[in-house]
Every structure is written in structure tokens, then in C-alpha cells.
Amino acid sequence: MKTSKLFLCVAMILMLAALAQGKPAAVNSGETLVKEMHGRYAASWYPSVTFTQKSTTYNPDGTTKVETWYEAALLPGKLRIDIGAPKDGNGYLLVDGNVTVFKEGQVKANVPQVNMLLVLGFDVYKQTPEATLAIAKKEGFDAGKFHEDTWEGKPVYVFGAERGDLKSKQFWVEKDRMLFVRLLEPDRNDPNKTQDIRFADYRKLGGGWIAALVEIYVDAKRVFSEEYTEINGDVKLDPAVFDPKQFTSVHWEKP
């Protein structure tokens, strides 16, 4: 009898140990959040993606401006945006924390600038947690401030702010799927205003996800939206597509 009880105890311990090994790490800080985001999809997230984007600007007078953008990303760190037909030579190259602006095939600006939407919506799953945390720190997000909240009826983790603070630089991550859903930060044009960027309409894409709708609000007023169609993951992209010197001569092909 004693032997059977001992065997049962040992079996229970082994079973609990096995379950513990498969259980995700506790998310209780900004650092553990980023590590869990990366760990959830590191082995399955697509390395590249292309899509067509309907970009809508909402003007203060109630009018709107609609453009078609073509985007291609090579993860981590590389994003190309063609505004209108690629042959026109208008758009942006965002490569490893630097942005180059093109107008009619000519370089109009080249400045250091991190696109946190690229980092949090895509790169976080394809680069080390340490790299993402270093970028967040450099961009002014405080990893020491962290809390849980609710967004669109779902539980979320908040990196960069304490409960009730909607002014500090912060990003929100859906708890269940570990997907970035919201970024709050001072508006670039007027730091006294708050820019609120939302990732919505998430759809499965290969072993990962993509938000097919992005909306930008400034002080609760919608100013810009992005709607994605013709979404393709794991696309073969020539590195030359992201070379500023070849912006007008090399383009990516639709699958």
C-alpha cells in the first residue's frame, strides 16, 4: 500500500513538472511581456509580407483624401512604402531605424526615425527580446511601468504606464494572443496632444497574424486609417528592394 502511494506521488510530481515546462512564463513586467510576445511566435511568424493599402486622411473640414499605397516588409527592420504606382518614384524606405523619403524618384530626406508600429506589430516576433527592449527604452518607453487593463472587451497588458495614465508613451498587447493592439504617445506635431494608434481586424497569416485595419486618432479624433488587402506572407523579396540607391529601379512583384 505504501509503495503504491509513493508511486502515485512520484507520478503526480512528474506530471506537474511536465505541465510547468509547457506553461508560458508569468507576464508581470514590461520585460517579461516582450519575452512572451517573442516566444509565442518566434518559430512561426512570417519573415516577410506584402499588401496593398487604402490610406485615408480625414481632414478637419470633414473632407477625406484617399490614396493607394503598396507595402513590402522584410523582418526585422525593413519596410518599403510606394505611394501610388512604384514607377512614379514616391514613397518611403524604413531600414533599421532610418527613413528615406522619395519624391518623383529623388531623395527628399534621410533621417534617423524608428517606426514603432513596425517594431511592435511585426519585428518583435522576429528579433531578440533584448533588441526590442533596447529600442523601446531608446524611444522613451519605461519598462518599469506596467499594468493590466481591458481593451475592446479583452484583457491586455500595458507596457510603459501605470493604471489611469493615458499620457505616457505606452503600448498595449492583447493577453490571449500576445498581439499588439494600441500605441499611445505624444503627437509629433503637437506634443500637448495624444496620438492613439490602434491595430484591429487581426487575421491569421501563416504561423502569425496581421492587423488588416490601422486607425490613428489625435485627441480622440480620427485623422488617418489604413485598410489592407492582397495580403501575402512569406514572400520572396530581393534585398535590393530596400536599398535607397535602387528605389526607382528595383520593385517587388505581387505573388
Considering only CA atoms, which of 40, 36, 59, 52 is closest in space to residue 84?
Answer: 52
Q: pTM score, two decimals?
A: 0.88
Domains and CATH numbers, the chain: 43-246 (2.50.20.10)
| Contact partners, residue 88, CB within 8 Å, separation at least 6 | 104, 105
Using a CB cutoff of 8 Å and minimum separation of 24, what contacts does 37-43 make? Answer: 37/124, 37/125, 37/129, 37/173, 37/178, 37/180, 38/124, 38/125, 38/127, 38/128, 38/129, 38/132, 40/125, 40/178, 41/125, 41/178, 41/207, 41/208, 42/125, 42/126, 43/207
Helices H, strands E: what count in the chain?
4, 13
Place of cell 492613439: 196
Grid cell 533599421 — which residue? 96
Tens-level pLDDT at each residue, the chain (255 residues): 444 554 444 445 444 443 344 445 689 999 999 999 999 999 999 999 999 999 999 999 999 999 999 999 999 999 999 999 998 999 999 999 999 999 999 999 999 999 999 999 999 999 999 999 999 999 999 999 999 999 999 999 999 999 999 999 999 999 999 999 999 999 988 989 999 999 999 999 999 999 999 999 999 999 999 999 999 999 999 999 999 999 999 998 776
The grid coordinates listed for 7 are: 508511486
In the three-class reduction of DSSP (H, G, I as helix; E, B as strand; rest coil), residue 126 is classed as coil
